[in-house]
Amino acid sequence: MSARKLTSIAFIAAVYAVLTYVFAPLSYHYIQFRISEMLTVLPFLTPTAIPGLFLGAVIANLGSPLGIYDVMFGGLATLIAAWLTSKMPNRWLAPLPPVIINAVIIGIELGTIAGIPGLTIPLAMLWVGLGELAVCYLLGIPFLLLLERYRGRIPGFNAKK
């Protein structure tokens, strides 16, 4: 793997983790509005973002109140969602895998492990899904459009469609 790819992976991981920590009050509860999730559109443009997002999520989840469970399940959810995002046929569908995968996996995690009174698995899935939907579409799509606009000026980012 080239130094450029390793640097890109590390940069994406660092930005994801820092955004998660900076906005921590919004990032770690059952009603999540994790600003860093806007980066989940990046695999649509470059496969290098897949390991970067995975590592970023693992690092960010080290600060989670759910501890190792969030590191494992959050990392897995991000990895699956990033890979599926890279397979999306157009930019409008690119944010959909993170919304669905996180709603299901993180919703199940929160509904079973978090121990929040009254929080059922379906309710946790709904809250996670709504927060993810808001971030991925309201922030992720404009971010993706901005990157596509400057695609020739950003090394490693090539817009598909």
Q: What is the pLDDT of residues 105-159, one digit of tens each?
A: 999 999 898 877 778 999 999 999 999 999 999 999 999 999 988 876 666 555 4
DSSP track, the chain = --HHHHHHHHHHHHHHHHHHHHTHHHHSSSS---GGGGGGGGGGT-TTHHHHHHHHHHHHGGGSTTTHHHHHHHHHHHHHHHHHHHT-SSTTTTTHHHHHHHHHHHHHHHHHHS--TT--HHHHHHHHHHHHHHIIIIIIHHHHHHHHHTGGGSTT-----
Q: Which CATH code of 1.10.357, 1.10.390, 2.60.40, 1.10.1760 fits the domain covering 3-153? A: 1.10.1760
Give pTM, 2 decimals.
0.90
Q: What is the pLDDT of residues 19-75, one digit of tens each?
A: 999 998 877 776 788 999 999 999 999 999 999 999 999 999 998 888 899 999 999
Domain boundaries, the chain: 3-153
